[in-house]
Structure formats: C-alpha cells, structure tokens
Amino acid sequence: MHVTWRQLKVFETVARLGSFTRAAEELFLAQPTVSMQVKQLAEAVDQPLFEQTGRRIQLTEVGDALYATCREMFDTWARFEMTAADLKGLKRGRLRLACVTTAKYFVPRLLGPFCDRYPGIDVRLEVANRDAVVERLARNEDDLYIMGTPPQHFDIALHPFLENALVVIAPAGHPLAGEKRIPLARIAEEKLLLRERGSGTRMAAERHFRDHGFVLKPRMELATNEAIKHAVAGGLGISVLSQLALTLEPMQGQLAILDVEGFPLKRHWYVVHPGKRDLSVVAQTFFDYLRDEAGALLPPDTRAALLSPGEAHDARVR
C-alpha cells in the first residue's frame, strides 16, 4: 500500500473534526486538496474511508481503524520528536492536559510559571466535570488528567499531590453556623444545592452520606461552583464544596463553613495517566513539576493542603 504522511495527516484531521471544510481551515489548505488527499488514500486502502449520512460524514469501519492507527502513529512520532529535542537539551512538544472543573482554581495558576520555564512546550488544557474527564481518559485523548475521583477498573497510574477537602457551606448567619458537630442527619434535612450529575464533588458527597445511611435529595442542581456559592450566599440552601473553591475565591464574609460530623471530608487531588505507556518527555516534565513544585506556587492559604512525601505515593489501579 503506497500512502504518504501528508495523506494520513489530512485524513486524521478530517476524521477528528468530522468535516472536510473544517479540516481545510485547520490545515490552511483548499478544500479540493483535502478531498483529493483523502480520495487517494481511500484508493490505496481500496475501500471507502467515509460515508455520507445526510449532510454529515461518518467513518466507515476501515476508516475508523485507520483513524485509530493514525492517532497512535502521530502520538508515537510526537514522542520521538520530544525525545530527540530532549537529547539536545530542549524540552519541546505538545502537552495535553485535562482537569476537572474544581481543579481550575489552581491548575491554570501552575501553568504560568511552567510555560515561562519551558517556552517550547505547547500546553492545551481542557476543563470539564469529572465524568467528562473520565470519558476523555477512556478515549486516551490527553497526556495527564487532574481529578479528585479517579475511576476504578481502568489501567491507570495515579499520584496524589494535594489535599482536596470538601466542606459544608451555608449562608453567613444561618442558624447552624455557630453549632458544633452537627449530625449528618440534620444536614440531610436541609435544602441542598448540589453540583450537576457527573461532578466529582457531588459523587464524593453523595457517597459519604450514603455510607452513613442518607440519600441526598437536592433542591436544585447547579453546574458550577460559582453558581453554588452565590446561590448559597443568596439563601437558597446549603451545599458541599471543595475548600479550594473557597480559599482561592472567597465570598468575603457571605458564607459560613459548618462544623459537620465527618467534615471536612478528606480527599486528594491526583494526577493520573494511562498505566500502559510511559509518559512522553514533556508529560513527565509537567508531572515532576506538579509533584515537586506545585506547593511553592500555590497561594499560602492552600499550602497546608500539600501532601507530605510520606502521604504522596504513586499507585496503579487496574
């Protein structure tokens, strides 16, 4: 089969974007050139790579297999380029990160100094809720994932690097605000505002209450921590949120943290990567940076959340 690198690159772009027009835009090519490259590749494979359903194009079975092959090939090649640059003493290449919504309070802050130090590293950060990040992990779309609730039954390596405590918040002046050791039963009766389904914060809160015999029935679901904080401050109810969402973006006296039995709920932030493959040079560089230097770069309030070397140890889940 005679195929060229360029044909594969064009095909991969069309398959990824699901559109010849958008692929042409991304590659700065004319659309007929894109169509011609894909046509020649299909001739070499001797089977159609796409089929048209209405106005959409879809990969055929062989197209799908070729797309997976292309992604692996380009990934392997990108790793080689990073290794070659590393051998010349340069850190260069692409770093694909994905983090859960709540980690957006600190991950972007850590990227500034990292990008200053390694200008040759091109970073892309995706932010989505926990379930969406797990889907990305399942599709192997990124190099590293930062999350608080790593999936079980995936072959992944994980390293905890920061505490991720969850607290119960109420509007300042709430009747429970001054009470000590409030029982979970009392909280379960309150009007609760929870993050959307698929959120790691919600999953951890529901699991904790369920383990103690309570099923949480939210009065309202809100898709961001900010919306929750404002809704709580506005008196709509109480909620469970990551402490980082408060220390890094406080609501200036509008919220109270309740002293609830079993809270703060101690959890961790993990950096996760697929266990099967070694990290690329660039991903390893970010991993080391996160492990060794994240603490010094976070605001002083959050440093207490840093794990000591004894607490932070790598693990492998299968």
Contacting positions for ligand PGA (CB under 6 A): 100-102, 129-130, 147-149, 164, 195, 199-201, 242
With respect to ligand PGA, which residue has the nearer C-beta, 96 or 104? 104
Q: CA-to-CA distance for 135 and 130, rounded, in angstroms? A: 9
With respect to ligand PGA, which residue has the nearer C-beta, 101 or 285? 101
With respect to ligand PGA, which residue has the nearer C-beta, 70 or 245? 245
Asked if residue 175 has a cis previous peptide bond (ω within 30° of 0), the answer is no
With respect to ligand PGA, which residue has the nearer C-beta, 177 or 223? 223
CB of 208 to ligand PGA, least distance (A): 12
Q: CA-to-CA distance for 262 and 180, rounded, in angstroms? A: 12
CB of 86 to ligand PGA, least distance (A): 33
CB of 123 to ligand PGA, least distance (A): 20
With respect to ligand PGA, which residue has the nearer C-beta, 90 or 307? 307
Q: Which two tokens stand for residue 298?
A: 């976070």
Q: 209-222: string of b/e by CB count within 10 Å (b at 16+)?
A: beeeeeeeebeeeb
Q: Quick one: which of 164, 100, 159, 163 has its CA closest to 292?
A: 159
Asked if residue 48 has a cis previous peptide bond (ω within 30° of 0), the answer is no
**Which amino acid, residue 132?**
A
Residue 263 vs residues 10, 145, 183, 194, 255: alpha-carbon distances, Å: 53, 26, 10, 16, 16
With respect to ligand PGA, which residue has the nearer C-beta, 66 or 162? 162
Q: Are 212 and 185 in contact (CB under 8 A)?
A: no
Q: CA-to-CA distance for 298 and 81, rounded, in angstroms? A: 32
How many CB atoms are closer than 10 A to CB 314?
A: 10
CB of 201 to ligand PGA, least distance (A): 3
With respect to ligand PGA, which residue has the nearer C-beta, 24 or 147? 147
CB of 177 to ligand PGA, least distance (A): 24
Q: Which two tokens stand for residue 191?
A: 């009007």
CB of 41 to ligand PGA, least distance (A): 39
CB of 317 to ligand PGA, least distance (A): 15
The residue at minimum Cβ distance from ligand PGA is 200
**181 in helix, strand or coil?**
coil
